[in-house]
Amino acid sequence: MYRITAKMVLISALCVLAMALAATSAFAQAGGRAEAAFKDIKVLQGTAADQLIPTMQFFEASLGVTCNHCHAADRAANTPIKETARQMISMVKAINRDNFKGAKTVTCNTCHRGATDPEANPALATANYKPWTPDSPNGAPNLPPVPGPAASQLIDNYLKTFGGEAGLAKIQSRVVKYSATNSIGIVANMEMVSKGDNSLSITHADGGDAIVGHAGNSAWQRAPNGATRDAREDEFDGLRLQDPLYVATHLKSLITNMETRRVRLNDQDAYQLRGMAFGRVPVRLFFNPKSGNLLRLVYLLPNVVGQNVVRIDYSDFRNVQGAAFPFAWVIARPLGYQTVKVESVQQNVPLEDSRFAKPTARAGGQ
């Protein structure tokens, strides 16, 4: 048992490969297969190239490591550690195939929980230890969910925070300027620019702006040095879901298979709307029953072995030209945590459509 779990630590080796390539040449084009875009791909051959980096990020978060935990300077070089990692990937696939009908039920996080060495033995008792009883929280049966109002009613109540559909239709564009501070105190000055089906997420940096943008069904990413590539599917999905104006404008058609529940959120009552965004991304939206404000958005981006979770909490709602807008956000991911302070919100700002088009890489970019 110890030999198996120790080897599972090494599943992060493939994370090293893709993340390292991402740092050097991986403004690789989206689409195609992983083995065509990256080197030394074996057990993940046939995986979409778009899925490789999110999968490696999932490994990284599950084990609490970075790429250098397993990889040397030559990322493409094969090593015994990488071979063991491939064995662990195959093992997890086999467990799910043989026991869970292929569903991604068991992942590296099942055992590791953010540690390089999974705990094979139960944790030692502390001074707070209490013997288990049938009434213990981890022994109580799951109660049937309590349905909330109809999904259409929740959506209509949410749209009232924009002045109803008529008020929302009047918002032709929006520019949000904000600062995002991560858990170690690094501050990024950012902008979210929206117009119709187009949007930009801009991070201002000394060496130039990093931009993720989309115009209609085309998404792209530009690095501060001017290197430009097509955005991966998960980046495209995240860009749209993190834009409150896009979510509100498209909510009625954005989510399918909707169901509602009454839940508790931060010690207050809330209504949860669950469904599938873009036909592939599980989402959960939490609304204030009285005001209709969107309090929390959770979305799960699928990868080869599991799902990368993103949670956004909204608060400090203020009136901006008749629409409620949150001036404080908390964005939590497995590999990052940011607190957002909105500095200004401008609506119906003139924006040229050409601003959202994929830029041409400038001299010095790739």
Average pLDDT per block of 10 residues along the chain, 366 residues long: 34 34 40 84 88 86 81 77 83 93 91 85 89 81 87 96 95 96 94 94 92 92 92 92 94 95 93 96 97 97 91 97 96 94 96 90 50
Residue 87: partners with Cβ closer than 8 Å, 6 or more residues away: 7
Selection from 364, 308, 314, 317 nearest residue 339 by Cα: 314
Residues 197, 216 contacting (CB under 8 angstroms): yes
Chain-centroid distance of CA 318 in Å reads 26
Structural tokens at position 138? 């981890």
pTM as predicted:
0.84
Q: Which of 334, 318, 335 is nearest to 326 (CA)?
A: 318
Which residues are within 8 A (CB) of 217 and not within 5 positions of it... i.e. 6 or more apart?
A: none
Instruction: Name the token pair of 220.
Output: 């792209």
What is the set of domains in the chain, with CATH numbers? 2-112 (no CATH), 151-356 (2.50.20.10)
Count the Cβ atoms, other than its own, within 10 Å of residue 359. 15
What's the angle, vertex CA 77, arms to CA 71 and CA 82, rounded to 5?
A: 55
Rounded distance, CA 252 to CA 254, Å?
6
Per-residue pLDDT at 68: 75
Give every CB contact of residue 232 below 8 A, 6+ residues apart in sequence: 30, 50, 53, 54
Phi-psi region of 196 (alpha: psi -120 to 50; beta: other; left: phi over 0): left
Q: Residues 193, 199, 203, 209: is their CA dihedral positive or negative?
A: negative
260-282 burial, b for 16+ CB within 10 Å, e for fewer? beebeeeeeebbbbbbebbeebb
